[in-house]
């Protein structure tokens, strides 16, 4: 809802005469909280109902967390704008400990992400990990009542809801490489709505959009889903895109990493190049074992 209200405010600022209403909806991803996303259909559970509302005309646009949008959109739908990115990194949240390194052996860390879990298992093999679902308030309340010693969440979501003060430490990408699209908002509409495509172009942040397109291309090339611990993170450096990626075995027994660089106007090509590099280094074996 915060994301939708943010986009609503931006559209009203840009187009004062435009009436913008929010159609609040609950998705299957919001409702299924006792099972990991990897077991019940993946991140697409957060967007299917919204796409149905676009298809039948109840809604004109849908606002998503870019990291929740499946890599293949249904025919006739497109991501029209990608907003400027908030902090894309993961954050460490705990009541009694300042960092992951300060946790005692056997401490329980809550996370909903196989990507986070695999990377943190590699760096901190003495820790235990447990699934964590629900909205931010629910996850934080589970920490506060003692269900976990610490939890790991996206910094962007905490900051947007005014909860940035709960972050005890921000995890460098070298420790926890973010998910494709993390920290950015994606606005989706029907491709045929050229009127909306023109209006929404003002909300598109070109550098963020190029980075997210590169990240999504990596995941798309590898068949990325919730079942695959995959990280992809692009940054603008020296006028070009620097793209880092990894594929991990769910138990962190093996993690393959690679990097690619290239011109800003070729984000998909850079993503596909990185995917090939990951496969050449052994990601194909990890993928085969998972599938």
CB 26 within 8 A of CB 50: no
CA distance 56 to 79: 18
- Give 138's strand partners: none
CB 105 within 8 A of CB 126: yes
Query: Which string of DSSP letters, residue by residue, matches 65-128?
Result: EGGGS-SSPPTTEEEEEEPPP---SEEEE-SS-SSGGGSPTT-EEE-S-HHHHHHHHHH-TT-E
Residue 90 annotated among the catalytic residues of the structure: no
CB 128 within 8 A of CB 107: yes
Report in angstroms the alpha-carbon separations of 98 from 48, 76, 105, 149, 166: 38, 47, 15, 11, 11
Residues 60, 68, 90, 144: which is the catalytic one? 68
| Residue 283 DSSP one-character state | I
CA distance 241 to 55: 34
Helix 206-221 and helix 267-278, axial crossing angle in degrees, nearest 10: 30
Strands (E), 200-285: 230-237, 240-248, 255-263
CA distance 179 to 221: 15
Helix, strand, coil tally for the chain in percent (to 5): 40, 20, 40
Instruction: State the catalytic residues.
Output: 68
């Amino acid at each position: 809802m915060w994301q939708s209200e943010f986009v609503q405010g931006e559209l009203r600022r840009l187009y004062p005469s435009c009436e913008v209403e929010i159609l609040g909806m609950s998705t299957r991803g919001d409702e299924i909280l006792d099972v990991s996303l990897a077991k019940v259909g993946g991140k697409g559970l957060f967007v299917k109902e919204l796409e149905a509302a676009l298809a039948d005309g109840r809604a004109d646009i849908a606002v998503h967390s870019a990291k929740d949008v499946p890599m293949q959109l249904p025919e006739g739908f497109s991501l029209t704008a990608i907003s400027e990115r908030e902090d894309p990194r993961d954050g460490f949240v705990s009541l009694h400990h300042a960092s992951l390194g300060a946790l005692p052996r056997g401490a329980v860390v809550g996370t909903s992400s196989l990507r986070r879990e695999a990377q943190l298992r590699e760096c901190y093999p003495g820790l235990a990990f447990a699934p964590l679902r629900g909205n931010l308030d629910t996850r934080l309340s589970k920490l506060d009542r003692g269900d976990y010693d610490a939890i790991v969440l996206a910094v962007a979501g905490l900051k947007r809801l005014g909860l940035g003060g709960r972050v005890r430490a921000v995890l460098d990408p070298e420790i926890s490489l973010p998910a494709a699209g993390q920290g950015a908002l994606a606005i989706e509409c029907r491709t045929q709505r050229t009127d909306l495509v023109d209006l929404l172009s003002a909300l598109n942040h070109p550098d963020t959009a190029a980075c997210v397109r590169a990240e999504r291309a990596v995941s798309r090339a590898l068949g990325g889903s919730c079942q695959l611990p995959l990280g992809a993170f692009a940054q603008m450096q020296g006028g070009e895109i620097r793209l880092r990626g990894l594929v991990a075995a769910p138990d962190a027994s093996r993690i393959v990493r690679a990097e690619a660089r290239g011109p800003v106007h070729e984000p998909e090509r850079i993503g596909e190049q990185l995917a090939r590099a990951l496969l050449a280094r052994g990601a194909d074996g990890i993928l085969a074992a998972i599938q």
